[in-house]
């Protein structure tokens, strides 16, 4: 069995937890992350600029070639994923296509609310069936331009075709499709989405937008917010779909794990102990 290129899928498929963070599509930020212990980095283009050139360069700066050389497994130690700008209802497939063509190992789709939107999300990440090699629904809609992605993955174009289907629809697929559920309509439709649209590898709770809809902005521990998150967790766990939490901190991580989340996203917080101590010693804390 070929070793996984996508470390996120390797961990999720083995029942392990995944640790990730958000980053702007910026080579300097990617370089800072390259030596950290995250499993994945989600390049944020929903609320930060969509810049395909910066995204391409960020992928390269995220690579640690010394790690790749010394590892028994191919692929980057930190798996690059992209949260694209458009909401599910906009069905803009081109952002997903360009991110995948650059070498992304997964796409996070914001604000998915219906079965049709979920089906579009999966289809946009898949190539159409090859002659003599029928694939399962939803039929792929992705356009053909694999060269840059194959180079980044370190494989041939033909190998890329064979390995770039979505997981777990294709058990050997290396592309992760993650849906963000961010409103009441999405929660209500989630059972049908997961039952009717194969190929969804991860569901992420969209706490920010959901709290806005509930009229409790960023009150993530409000009883109404907790009830919504519980419904998402129960629906996904019943169907064996991992769930992601986007706001993990030292204060809530134990509860997050107890609740059953498996994709944990933390803020890229930097600490400055020397500066903090200096401020304290000089009366400027």
- The phi and psi torsions of 177 (rounded to 5 degrees) equal -105, 115
**pLDDT (tens place) for every residue of the chain, 285 residues total:** 468 999 999 999 999 999 999 999 999 999 999 988 899 999 999 999 999 999 999 999 999 877 777 776 667 889 999 999 999 999 989 999 999 999 999 999 999 999 999 999 999 999 997 555 556 788 899 999 999 999 999 999 999 999 999 999 999 999 999 999 999 999 999 999 999 999 999 999 999 999 999 999 999 999 999 999 999 999 999 999 999 999 999 899 999 999 999 999 998 877 778 888 888 888 877
pLDDT score, position 276: 87
pLDDT score, position 240: 97
CATH number of the domain encompassing residue 119: 3.20.20.60
Instruction: Give 107's contacts (C-beta < 8 A, 6+ positions apart).
Output: 81, 82, 83, 84, 96, 99, 100, 121, 124, 125, 175, 176, 177, 178
229 domain-assigned? yes
103 domain-assigned? yes
234 domain-assigned? yes
1 domain-assigned? no
153 domain-assigned? yes
Q: What's the domain count of the chain?
A: 1
Range of the domain at 187: 7-281
79 domain-assigned? yes
**What CA–CA distance (Å, rounded) separates 222 from 216?**
8
233 domain-assigned? yes
pLDDT score, position 189: 98
pLDDT score, position 130: 57
245 domain-assigned? yes
pLDDT score, position 131: 52
Is this prediction's pTM over 0.85?
Answer: yes
**What CA–CA distance (Å, rounded) separates 266 from 252?**
11
pLDDT score, position 208: 94
41, 62 Cβ separation under 8 angstroms: yes
pLDDT score, position 74: 67
Q: Which helix (H) or strand (E) holds 105?
A: none
pLDDT score, position 75: 78
pLDDT score, position 1: 46
């Amino acid at each position: 069995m070929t070793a996984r290129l996508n470390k996120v899928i390797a961990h999720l498929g083995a029942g392990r937890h995944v640790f990730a963070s958000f980053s702007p599509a910026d080579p300097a930020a990617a370089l800072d992350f390259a030596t950290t212990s995250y499993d994945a980095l989600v390049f944020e283009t929903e609320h930060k600029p969509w810049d395909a050139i910066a995204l391409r360069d960020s992928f390269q700066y995220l690579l640690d070639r010394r790690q790749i050389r010394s590892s028994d497994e191919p692929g980057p130690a930190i798996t690059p994923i992209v949260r694209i700008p458009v909401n599910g209802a906009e069905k803009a497939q081109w952002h997903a296509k360009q991110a995948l063509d650059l070498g992304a190992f997964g796409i996070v789709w914001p604000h998915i609310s219906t079965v049709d939107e979920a089906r579009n999300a999966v289809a946009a990440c898949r190539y159409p069936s090859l002659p003599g090699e029928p694939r399962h629904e939803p039929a792929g809609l992705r356009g053909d331009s694999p060269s840059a992605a194959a180079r980044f993955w370190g494989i041939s174009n033909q190998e890329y075709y064979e390995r770039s289907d979505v997981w777990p629809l294709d058990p050997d697929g290396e592309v992760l499709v993650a849906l963000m559920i961010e409103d009441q309509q999405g929660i209500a439709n989630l059972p049908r989405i997961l039952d009717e649209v194969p190929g969804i590898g991860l569901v992420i709770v969209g706490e920010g937008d959901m709290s806005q809809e509930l009229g409790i902005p960023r009150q993530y521990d409000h009883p109404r917010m907790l009830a919504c998150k519980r419904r998402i967790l129960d629906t996904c766990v019943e169907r064996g779909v991992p769930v992601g939490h986007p706001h993990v901190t030292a204060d809530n991580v134990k509860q997050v794990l107890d609740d059953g989340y498996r994709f944990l996203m933390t803020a890229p917080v930097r600490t400055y102990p020397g500066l903090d101590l200096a401020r304290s010693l000089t009366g400027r804390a």
